[in-house]
Chains A and B, each alone.
Chain A
Amino acid sequence: MGPKPVSRLRDATIVLLLLALPAVFYVSNNKQVRDYSALDRAVSWVSGPVQWAVVASLDGISHLWHHYGALVDVQADNDALRAQLDRLSMQLQTLQEAARENERLHRLLDVQPNVSGRRNLLGQVIATSPSPLFRSLRINRGSRDGVTLGDAVISHAGLVGRIAALSDSVADVMLLTDANSSADVLVQRSRARIRVRGQGGDHALNLDAQYLGRTADVEPGDVLLTSGLGHTFPKGLSVGRVHGVERRAFGLYQRALVRPSVDFSRLEEVMVLLAGDGAKANDADAPQDLP
């Protein structure tokens, strides 16, 4: 014997009211990503350590395998790496000297130092977005580590994104490739200013340069760097490389396709550029005060 019509109607009404609740929130919600509420912070406080434990376990297993299980041609690799290390050490010394000189010249010209002057924080990626339509990562650094909303996040290869949501112990990074993410950039060669916007995906065909004037000097192969405009991202961070320019026979704009310099599918550690304390110089490279 099935449910009575009255109870069916009641259930249907309850279900419609329940579904109306998220619909109202979704329709009335503004288009910006909102910060964590108290409930979100509580959930992330619990889930962050679990995610970190999973990632740490996998890293440990991978470490064991690579150090004990896959010892093939280790000696040859070791010798080659030692030689490479010697070469890189020499290059590093040269670059450090150039950086110090650059710092001094910047002070002379009263120009804001870029990344080298910012306090930074290393973070480990502990989770990724469960939805392929939204590109984000979770790192094991939060407000108690000095991270604030909007802080730029970089890797050794270039710009990763910015902090979009924050709790005490973890933070969510909106990647540059997310559809809601954009950055003002400069073409390194011609200094043309354009804006790049994410399109989803991780590596190929996933940054779209918008509002690129028809007369702007942009060619395939050009490197894009952050312009520093609006102080959202520090100036000079590598964003990507142009790999295609589309120009129609008419119209005000041309379209450039950009491949990002960061491989977002391989990120394990990132660096957060802390904006809270401003541009503090590293003690080791502190420039001398001018007389």
Chain B
Amino acid sequence: MRFVIWLLCGWLCLVLMTALQTRCDIAHVAADPILILLVFFAMRWSPTTFVPMALALGYCTGRAALAPLGLHELALGIVSVGVCIINGHVAGSGARYFAAAVALAQLAYAVLVCGLLLWQGHRLGFSSWTTALLFPNALLSAALAWLVYRPLMALEAHLSPSIPRGLDWR
């Protein structure tokens, strides 16, 4: 049930973002709510749970972008696994750490998508304009991640079953 609710949240974020961008587009700089959610999941869930989420949200993203099937799914899956692995080796927590992780993940995601397109010989719509957006998009995603960190934590706590710990008396 938690999985389904988070999947619906991710899908809704994608729908809203693609609709808002048609009217509120400031130099094409846009945060990536899908990536923010996946980084959040990768830091908290087991890989066997967040990877299917990455595939599902990647599918939604890919279809909305008319991208080749499997491209965004694979890229988001790899990035989320990478976040999970690195998170296990880095001692960090809090909103700022989460924001930094999102920014780096966004850069890695963009490079990975370009790499996968080139690997399969797809034409790459890569102009200097696209390159110029990499860092602004990452910064905006980081800012949004910093803002939504606490709401995400609250929602996750609400959705996750409580686990009795040690000396908790109930």
Whether A associates with B in a native complex is yes
A→B interface (CB under 8 Å): 11-12, 14-15, 18-19, 21-27, 29, 31, 33-34, 36, 40, 43, 47, 50-52, 54-55, 58-59, 62, 125-138, 164-165, 172, 174, 177-180, 197-202, 204-206, 265, 267-268
Measured between beta carbons, the chain A residues less than 8 angstroms from B11 are 43, 47
A130→B68 contact, CB < 8 A: no
Cβ–Cβ contact A22 & B74, under 8 A: yes
A51 lies within 8 A of B68 (CB): no
Q: Is the CB of A130 within 8 A of B127?
A: no
Quick check: which of B59-67, B144-152, B160-168 contacts chain A, the rest being far away?
B59-67
Count of chain B residues near A, Cβ 8 A: 58
Closest 10 CB pairs of A and B: A200-B125, A26-B70, A179-B125, A22-B73, A25-B70, A54-B19, A51-B19, A127-B18, A179-B123, A22-B70
Check if A18 sits within 8 Å of B127, measured CB to CB.
Answer: no
A58 lies within 8 A of B47 (CB):
no
Interchain CA distance A31-B5 in the complex, whole Å: 34
- B101-138: which residues lie under 8 A (CB-CB) from chain A? 113-114, 116-117, 120-130, 133, 137
By beta carbon, the residue of chain B nearest A44 is B63
Q: Which of A52, A130, A200 contacts B64 (CB 8 A)?
A: A130
Q: A50-B12, A128-B21, A200-B130 are in contact. Are A179 and B65 (CB under 8 A)?
A: no
- Bound Cα distance A174, B66 (Å): 8
Collect the chain B residues with CB atoms within 8 Å of residue A18's CB: 48, 51-52, 55, 77
Chain A residue with minimal CB distance to B12?
A50
A23–B137 Cα gap in the complex (Å)?
26
Point out the residue from A22, A62, A201, A204 that lies within 8 Å of B77, measured CB to CB. A22
Q: Tell whether, in the assembled complex, residue A25 and residue B69 are in contact, meaning their CB atoms are under 8 Å apart.
A: yes
Contacts of B48 in A (CB 8 A): 11, 14-15, 18
User: Which residues of B1-53 are within 8 A (CB) of A?
Assistant: 11-12, 14-25, 28, 32, 34, 46-48, 51-52
User: In the complex the two chains form, what is the Cα distance from A131 to B14 in whole Å?
Assistant: 11
Other than the given A43-B11, A132-B133, 15 more pairs (CB < 8 A) read: A14-B47, A22-B69, A23-B74, A31-B122, A33-B66, A34-B69, A54-B19, A127-B22, A127-B64, A128-B18, A129-B18, A130-B32, A133-B130, A136-B65, A165-B66
The complex places the Cα of A26 from the Cα of B66 at a distance, in Å, of 13
Question: Given the complex, which residues of B lie within 8 Å of A131, measured CB to CB?
Answer: 61, 65, 67, 72, 113
A134–B66 touching, CB < 8 Å: yes
Minimal beta-carbon separation of B87 from chain A (angstroms): 14
B19 adjacent to A201 (CB under 8 Å): no
CB distance from B157 to the nearest CB of A (A): 22
Given A22-B70, A133-B130, answer yes or no on A126-B19 (Cβ-Cβ < 8 Å): yes
Question: Can you list 5 contacts pairing A with B, beta carbon distance less than 8 Å?
Answer: A14-B51, A22-B74, A132-B130, A138-B64, A201-B129
**Bound state CA distance, A49 and B73, in angstroms?**
25
Give A133 Cβ to nearest chain B Cβ, in Å: 5
Is B142 part of the contact surface with A, judged by Cβ < 8 Å? no
B116 touches A19 (CB 8 A): no
With both beta carbons as reference points, the residue of chain B lying nearest to A2 in the complex is identified as B88
Return B29 CB to nearest CB of chain A, in Å. Answer: 10
* A201 and B130 within 8 A (CB): yes
Q: A18-B55, A21-B55 are in contact. Are A135 and B68 (CB under 8 A)?
A: no
Specify the chain B residue showing the minimal Cβ separation from A268.
B22
Chain A residue nearest in CB terms to B74:
A22
Whether a CB of chain A sits under 8 angstroms from the CB of B99 is no
Which A-chain residue is minimally distant from B70 (CB atoms)? A26
> Which one of A25, A172, A204 has the greatest number of beta carbons of chain B within 10 Å?
A25
Q: Nearest Cβ in chain B — how far from A265, in angstroms?
A: 6
B133 nearest CB across to chain A (Å): 6
Q: Is the CB of B70 within 8 A of A50?
A: no
**A19 and B81 alpha carbons, distance in the complex (Å):** 10
B71 interface residue (CB < 8 Å to A): yes
Smallest Cβ distance from A203 to chain B, in angstroms?
9
Instruction: Chain A residues near B74: list those with CB within 8 A.
Output: 19, 22-23, 26
Contacts of A201 in B (CB 8 A): 125, 127, 129-130
Identity of the chain B residue whose Cβ is nearest the Cβ of A198 in the assembled complex: B125
